[in-house]
Structure 1
Amino acid sequence: MKPQKVAIITGAGQGIGLEIARKMLDTGSHIVLNDLEVGLTEEAVASLARMGKGQVIGCSGDSSSEEVISELIELAMHHFGQIDQVVANAGITLFGNFLEYSRKDFLEVMRVNQAGTFFLTQAAARVMKDQKNGGSILLTSSVTAHQSHENLAAYAMSKAAIEMLAKNLVLELAPFGIRINTIAPGATLTERTTSDPEYVTTWSKLTPIGRPAFTTDIAEAAAFLLSNAARHITGQTLIVDGGWTAISPSPYV
């Protein structure tokens, strides 16, 4: 029987991150799960534990902080002795008109989305390098890194930077057998988006396939990129948006 893999997943208390954790657990990984909110972390761990597959360890806190990144690495190594997969999914969206956007909001978006992703990837890659067994890292981007979306200039900039990080790190990580890719979800039904009563109607009209994504659609794609089935794929971005970026109509028109 193959030894189970160990995955660190941030921003996984709900939504896309939680569904990726569920999928990875189902495909044979132990999970170290992070969310900023303690309550969401505890609920997610309890929900996943009921699947009866693998082990799930929770870690609450700001995943862009040095302390939480260190704790995630330490938890994985203490409980499982290895790190094989990382999903840097945590991120924030702060909407705002470009001409009025504050420095405070800009720096916060970059701190969480860019710095959090960069330094978690760095810490995990160091462990993977020392393990000499390779590994797979997945970063979470967005369709807004590819097409303009009103009031999301800072967010889009942060996500485009994440995609370039994955591409650039191929040079430094491939020699150690570490693959790194990015997934770019489009409109997706999550706890946050479904709070908007117009969301499903609006994005069903704008998406060529005829509906926004379910979190399972994103998780299936993520699991593929993390798996051995994608062993010759690195430095790439997979857009999962039902075809929206092919035509990219604005929700505000």
Structure 2
Amino acid sequence: MTKTFLGQTAIITGAGIGIGFEVARLLAMRGANIVLNDMDENAAKNAQKAILDSGGNCEIVVGNSADLSIIQQLVQKATECFGKLDLVVANAGITTFGDFFEYQPASLKQLLDVNLFGSFFLVQEAAKAMKNQQSGGSIVLTSSVTGHQAHPFLAAYGMTKAAIEQLAKNLVIDLSPLGININTVAPGATLTERTLEDKDYLSTWSRITPMGKPATVQDIAEAMIFLLSPQARHITGQSLVVDGGWTAVGVSPY
């Protein structure tokens, strides 16, 4: 495999399993040094072992990516262990379903903390490091198709994902002069460890997705890696929807 990212260092949050892990794994295979974050210590250690066993370099920081001290540890570990920071994937996020009329303040606060506070301040801390290095960088934020299209019981979640996309657009002003590009990827239905806990997930989303099946984690990860790559250096402030055409037709699973 071509070592596109040889010598570069990447931070990926929410990367113990699922899309985040696949991004970390593929970047490591392509030469990047990885600083991997997850709240679940066992998941983080298992992910690290898988990357190390395949010949990659990987350090972990266990903890809540909405905690500013964890964010600072991530950036510090990247620079101390590998000398610099080049790539960031702010992937950590939570989903809370709820009827709009019954939705509770505690749920919204948790959602805002992880999906928005964590992403905003990870980008801020990482961009400070990149600014000091004077060597630019690439950042990808994880959005969702629910930031583009209404979905039952996901008003609050969709709001946070639309906000993530606006953050990337707005930061073009601040980051472009530093040689940093920033984009978002908006996954549609994706087969992960969590979604496959629903026995009807694959059949339901295969039926309503124009391409006939939900995405794999590699489908999403490859889109993110493209936006991190040298081939995408002139792309910034954009959102790439990876959903097999679902938002074009918008058929509800309900």
Deviation at 1:5, TM superposition (A): 0.4
1:24 aligns with 2:36: no
Give the Cα separation in 2 of the matches to 1:47 and 1:213.
22
Deviation at 1:3, TM superposition (A): 5.3
1:152 aligns with 2:154: yes
Aligned length: 251
1:108 aligns with 2:104: no
Structure 2 residues without counterparts, runs of 5 or longer: none
The equivalent residue for 2:121 is: 119
Give the Cα separation in 2 of the matches to 1:87 and 1:133.
18
Give the Cα separation in 2 of the matches to 1:248 and 1:47.
37
- Superposition CA RMSD, Å: 1.0
C-alpha contact (below 8 Å) 2:6/2:32 kept by paired residues:
no
Query: What SS does the aligned partner of 1:64 have?
Result: coil
Match of 2:11 among 8, 32, 41: 8
The equivalent residue for 1:61 is: 63
The equivalent residue for 1:162 is: 164
- In the alignment, residue 123 of structure 1 is paired with which amino acid? E
Query: What SS does the aligned partner of 2:146 have?
Result: helix
C-alpha contact (below 8 Å) 2:143/2:164 kept by paired residues:
yes
C-alpha contact (below 8 Å) 2:9/2:87 kept by paired residues:
yes
- In the alignment, residue 98 of structure 1 is paired with which amino acid? F
C-alpha contact (below 8 Å) 2:137/2:180 kept by paired residues:
yes
The equivalent residue for 2:44 is: 41
In the TM superposition, what are the counterparts of 1:180-199 in structure 2 within 5 Å? 180-199=182-201
Give the Cα separation in 2 of the matches to 1:93 and 1:4.
34
TM-score (norm 2): 0.97
Structure 1 residues without counterparts, runs of 5 or longer: none
1:82 aligns with 2:84: yes
- In the alignment, residue 46 of structure 2 is paired with which amino acid? E
Share of identical aligned residues, percent?
55
In the TM superposition, what are the counterparts of 1:95-244 in structure 2 within 5 Å? 95-244=97-246
Give the Cα separation in 1 of the matches to 2:220 and 2:26.
10
Give the Cα separation in 2 of the matches to 1:126 and 1:156.
29
CA change 1:3–1:202 in 2 (3 A) is closer
Give the Cα separation in 1 of the matches to 2:125 and 2:60.
18
Deviation at 1:37, TM superposition (A): 0.8
Give the Cα separation in 1 of the matches to 2:150 and 2:228.
28
Give the Cα separation in 2 of the matches to 1:124 and 1:106.
26
